[in-house]
């Protein structure tokens, strides 16, 4: 038995394609203070055990005990059980990237058993075309797994879901009663599978402290079920819970029954709280003051935040450590033909953050009163790229998803420069605000460093509401920024919101018209509508009177985040849900732009007041050609090939220099008078990412010391050609 005193667990279920980053972050931190820990993605291990030949045989045997009231679909899947058992191993291997030639078998649509998820085959050619076998096969294999998931939900465990488990029990659970009652019932089939895997780990490592990271409501039930089992069978083992769910939902917890399952519940940054809990759990004779931690004392819930030790700076928390996790076993799925959903679920990404918290920290719908957003601390670009190189060496993966609330533009620029300086070949994407700092040139730089996509909150495409949200952007600005990203070759995804306090039906429809135009012009490629939810820790939740809403506050003894409310407009915003989502689905596929907005809705809607050329006019009035004196001038191209010529006119001979430049996608030539050409050639050599920063003002001063008016030179055709192919002003 290999002893590991600390076990870190992500309970079922989060993602299928990549580990959730919380436990790798904690393990990396514990490495820095000399505490050895083992980590497990329990959800992924359950999926791998369930979706295997032996797992499906056991599943069908369990389901077959009671076939009363089954749907026709469930009977079909059950009757095809041998086909599922025969094909599951090779399908999982394909989704793990180990059996790529199997794609053509899948795409024949004769190999995998099919149930109700395959009922819309005509959409596949529309979504993937006649080529793209790998993506089409991933989508079909995903439908195959979803058929099995439907069978599990109907016949074995109604709470099952690939990225969530018993999520309903964790959502808006102001009281612990329902979850507690559910935990008194016998473990389900999925529970038994989960607990069997957990038991094997505990027998293998005999940990003294087990820490559950619970990011979402869909992880909560399983975390409690596992903790319950631990307390029954390993009563001396201490259990702790932290992560996104307790950070937002459990700040007002007062029910002592919770602490029959968990000895500790921590809030916000987990590094120091876990270190102090570990010291107490591993050395019971020591007296330890805890940090941001709930526990039970004399039958009452106590919150202790008395440790005088400060939290660790982001530079001191170490590099995430993905060891112990089955990195080659995660599966890439494509649930729908949506480019951003494909990024989320297809391929494995190393996850990092550029900064702790949000540099903007003002959006009124966001939980900006909480430390994980409120306390902003960026990480130096060199440190970030050091961590990227460490993770590449450890995982073999060169893809990175920066999971920031909103990545800071200045830090993104420095990150891109550092990646280019080190000549790293990486692929990365992140979440941003659509702010004016994302100029055309900055977007070109980001693309050159390997950035392939950004997602950002457009929220409500209404300037009045954007101002009320304190988003710090306008619709016109969003249009320009999305155009810059798209022109540079990056995908843009927008989070869209409806039902914000005081939003009228007119503003909802006008927002849809803005979105229609953004997609029609091709400056946005992906989006998702969600209805506004009032949270307790947002400015709207803290000061509801300022936003014209009347909240309903229940008694809180367990979870406290989502709040029910009434808007003084009295509008039922749910009536717009189907039409908004249906229209967006069509727009993402490039169709339906010519249809009146009313076509998408079953209810009467107002006519839009937005001109049909509004976004087009926004793009035409972009005035970015003016360069700030302090802007850094950067050359991303290579060394030009030089040739000369001369011409004589009216007895005067003019020497010309020709700079032939090759890029990865084009070749062009810049023609200049020899003296100015030589000056430019020398300057280009000093404008590479490896060289010290040179500003527009410095460049201007150097030119004018020899030749005169720099603006006339800078805005002429030769420089314009260079600006189109790698000469950037940042």
Q: What is the pLDDT of residue 623?
A: 65
Q: What is the pLDDT of residue 130?
A: 44
User: What are 698-716's pLDDT values in tens digits?
Assistant: 999 999 999 988 989 998 8
Q: Which range has the worst mean pLDDT, 50-59, 194-203, 597-606, 660-669? A: 660-669
Same domain, 462 and 598: yes
The percent of residues above 70 in pLDDT, for the chain, comes to 96
| Residue 626 counted as domain residue | no
CB 221 within 8 A of CB 182: yes
Q: How far is the C-alpha of 412 from the C-alpha of 206, rounded, in Å?
A: 43
Q: How far is the C-alpha of 260 from the C-alpha of 296, rounded, in Å?
A: 9
Q: Is the pLDDT of residue 398 over 90?
A: yes
Q: How far is the C-alpha of 400 from the C-alpha of 378, rounded, in Å?
A: 17
Q: Is the pLDDT of residue 114 over 60?
A: yes
- pLDDT, average across residues 171-180: 83
Q: Give which of 506, 511, 475, 465 is closest to 607, Cα–Cα.
A: 506
CB 108 within 8 A of CB 65: no
Q: Is the pLDDT of residue 2 over 80?
A: no
Three-state DSSP class for 565? strand
- pLDDT, average across residues 62-70: 88
Q: How far is the C-alpha of 482 from the C-alpha of 491, rounded, in Å?
A: 9
Segment (H or E) for 526: strand 526-531
pLDDT band at residue 1, thresholds of 50, 70 and 90?
A: very low
Same domain, 528 and 400: yes
User: What are 588-622's pLDDT values in tens digits?
Assistant: 888 999 999 999 999 999 999 999 999 999 998 76
Same domain, 402 and 462: yes
Q: Is the pLDDT of residue 625 over 90?
A: no
Please identify, among 298, 316, 334, the residue that sits at the C-terminal boundary of a domain.
316
Q: Which range has the worst mean pLDDT, 119-123, 479-483, 623-627? A: 119-123
Give the alpha-carbon dihedral of 214, 219, 224, 227, to 10 degrees. Answer: -60
| Residue 339 counted as domain residue | no
> In 11-104, which ranges are E strands?
37-41
DSSP letter assigned to residue 14? S
Chain mean pLDDT for the chain? 91
The percent of residues above 90 in pLDDT, for the chain, comes to 70
CB 332 within 8 A of CB 93: no
Please identify, among 296, 316, 336, the residue that sits at the C-terminal boundary of a domain.
316
Same domain, 266 and 357: no
pLDDT band at residue 336, thresholds of 50, 70 and 90?
A: low
Segment (H or E) for 656: strand 652-662
Same domain, 171 and 278: yes
Same domain, 719 and 603: no
pLDDT band at residue 11, thresholds of 50, 70 and 90?
A: very high
- Select, from the ranges 153-162, 480-489, 565-574, the one with the highest average predicted confidence (pLDDT): 480-489
Q: Give which of 242, 165, 180 is closest to 209, Cα–Cα.
A: 242
Same domain, 666 and 581: no
| Residue 606 counted as domain residue | yes
CB 265 within 8 A of CB 253: yes
| Residue 571 counted as domain residue | yes
How, if at all, do strands 451-459 and 427-432 pair? parallel
Helical ranges in 80-132 per DSSP H: 81-95, 102-107, 122-128
What range does the domain containing 671 cover? 633-729
Same domain, 466 and 584: yes
Domain count, the chain: 3
**CB neighbour burial string for 277-297, b if at least 16 within 10 angstroms, e if fewer:** bbebbeeeeeebebbbbbbbe
Q: What is the pLDDT of residue 426?
A: 96
Structure tokens at 127: 């979504």
| Residue 342 counted as domain residue | no
CATH number for 491: 3.80.30.20
CB 497 within 8 A of CB 466: no
| Residue 343 counted as domain residue | no
Q: Is the pLDDT of residue 127 over 80?
A: no
Please identify, among 586, 614, 642, the residue that sits at the C-terminal boundary of a domain.
614
pLDDT band at residue 653, thresholds of 50, 70 and 90?
A: confident
User: Would you give the distance in Å from CA 582 to the centre of its chain?
Assistant: 23
Same domain, 559 and 641: no
| Residue 627 counted as domain residue | no
Same domain, 560 and 666: no
Structure tokens at 672: 């200049």
* Torsion sign (Cα): 178, 181, 182, 183: positive
Three-state DSSP class for 673? strand
User: What are 442-472's pLDDT values in tens digits?
Assistant: 999 999 999 999 999 888 888 898 999 999 9
- pLDDT, average across residues 424-446: 95
pLDDT band at residue 68, thresholds of 50, 70 and 90?
A: confident
Q: Which residue has the tokens 């409806």?
A: 498
Q: How far is the C-alpha of 30 from the C-alpha of 623, rounded, in Å?
A: 50
Q: Is the pLDDT of residue 129 over 60?
A: no
- Select, from the ranges 24-38, 640-654, 701-715, the one with the highest average predicted confidence (pLDDT): 24-38
Same domain, 507 and 562: yes
| Residue 648 counted as domain residue | yes
Length of the chain, in residues: 730
Structure tokens at 221: 């039930």
Q: What is the pLDDT of residue 325?
A: 95
Same domain, 442 and 536: yes
- pLDDT, average across residues 267-290: 94
User: What are 544-559's pLDDT values in tens digits?
Assistant: 888 888 888 888 888 7
pTM above 0.75, yes or no: yes
């Amino acid at each position: 038995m290999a002893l590991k005193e600390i076990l870190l667990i992500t309970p079922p279920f989060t993602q299928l394609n990549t580990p959730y980053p919380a436990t790798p972050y904690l393990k990396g931190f514990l490495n820095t203070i000399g505490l050895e820990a083992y980590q497990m993605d329990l959800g992924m291990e359950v999926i791998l055990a369930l979706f295997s030949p032996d797992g499906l045989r056991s599943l069908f045997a369990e389901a077959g005990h009671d076939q009363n009231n089954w749907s026709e679909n469930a009977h079909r899947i059950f009757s095809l059980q041998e086909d599922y058992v025969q094909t599951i191993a090779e399908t999982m291997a394909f989704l793990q990237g180990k059996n790529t030639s199997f794609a053509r078998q899948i795409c024949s649509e004769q190999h995998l058993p099919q149930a109700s998820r395959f009922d819309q085959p005509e959409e596949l050619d529309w979504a993937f075309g006649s080529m793209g076998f790998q993506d089409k096969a991933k989508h079909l294999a995903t439908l195959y797994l979803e058929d099995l998931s439907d069978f599990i939900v109907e016949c074995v465990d109604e709470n099952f879901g690939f990225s969530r488990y018993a999520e309903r029990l964790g959502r808006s659970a102001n009281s612990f009663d329902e979850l507690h009652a559910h935990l008194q019932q016998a473990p389900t089939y999925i529970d038994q599978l989960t607990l069997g895997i957990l038991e094997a780990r505990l027998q293998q490592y005999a940990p003294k402290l087990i820490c559950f990271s619970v990011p979402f409501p869909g992880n909560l039930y399983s975390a409690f079920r596992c903790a319950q089992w631990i307390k029954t069978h390993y009563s001396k083992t201490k259990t702790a819970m932290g992560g996104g769910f307790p950070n937002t939902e459990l700040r007002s917890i007062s029910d002592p029954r919770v602490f029959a399952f968990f000895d500790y519940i921590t809030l916000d940054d987990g590094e120091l709280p876990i270190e102090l809990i570990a010291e107490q759990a591993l050395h019971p004779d020591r007296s330890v003051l805890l940090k941001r931690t709930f526990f039970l004392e004399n039958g009452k819930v106590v919150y202790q935040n008395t440790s005088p030790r400060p939290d660790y700076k982001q530079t001191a928390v170490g590099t995430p450590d993905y060891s112990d996790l089955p990195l080659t076993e995660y599966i890439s799925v494509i649930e729908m033909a949506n480019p951003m959903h494909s990024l989320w679920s297809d391929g494995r990404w190393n996850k990092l953050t550029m900064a702790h918290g949000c540099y903007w920290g003002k959006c009124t719908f966001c939980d900006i009163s909480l430390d994980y957003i409120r306390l902003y601390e960026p990480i130096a670009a060199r440190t970030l790229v050091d961590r990227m190189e460490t993770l590449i060496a450890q995982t073999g993966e060169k893809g990175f998803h920066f999971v920031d609330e909103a990545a800071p533009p200045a830090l993104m620029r420095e990150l891109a420069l550092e990646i280019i300086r080190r000549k790293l070949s990486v692929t990365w994407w992140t979440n941003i605000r659509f702010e004016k700092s994302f100029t055309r040139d900055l977007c070109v730089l980001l693309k050159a460093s390997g950035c392939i996509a950004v997602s950002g909150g457009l929220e409500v495409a209404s300037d009045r509401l954007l101002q009320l949200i304190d988003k710090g952007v306008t619709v016109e600005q969003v249009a320009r920024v999305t155009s810059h990203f798209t022109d540079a070759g990056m995908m843009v995804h927008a989070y869209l919101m409806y039902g914000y306090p005081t939003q009228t039906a007119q503003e909802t429809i006008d927002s849809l018209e803005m979105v229609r135009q953004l997609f029609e012009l091709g400056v946005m490629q992906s989006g998702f509508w969600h209805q506004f939810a009032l949270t307790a820790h947002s400015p709207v939740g803290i000061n509801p009177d300022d936003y014209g809403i009347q909240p309903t506050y229940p008694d809180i003894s367990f979870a406290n985040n989502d709040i029910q409310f009434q808007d003084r407009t009295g509008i039922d915003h749910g009536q717009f849900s189907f039409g908004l989502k249906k229209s967006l689905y069509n727009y993402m596929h490039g169709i339906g732009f010519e249809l009146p907005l009313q076509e998408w809705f079953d209810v009467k809607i107002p006519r839009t007041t937005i001109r049909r050329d509004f976004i087009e006019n926004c793009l035409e009035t972009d005035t970015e050609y003016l360069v700030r004196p302090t802007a850094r001038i950067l050359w991303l191209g290579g060394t030009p090939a030089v040739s000369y010529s001369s011409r004589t006119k009216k007895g005067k001979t003019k020497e010309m220099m020709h700079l032939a430049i090759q890029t990865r996608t084009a070749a062009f030539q810049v023609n200049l008078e020899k003296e100015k050409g030589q000056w430019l050639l020398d300057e280009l050599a000093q404008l590479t990412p490896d060289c010290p920063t040179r500003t527009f003002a410095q460049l201007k001063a150097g030119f004018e010391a020899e030749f005169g008016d720099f603006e006339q030179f800078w805005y002429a055709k030769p420089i314009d050609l260079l600006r189109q192919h790698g000469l950037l002003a940042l």
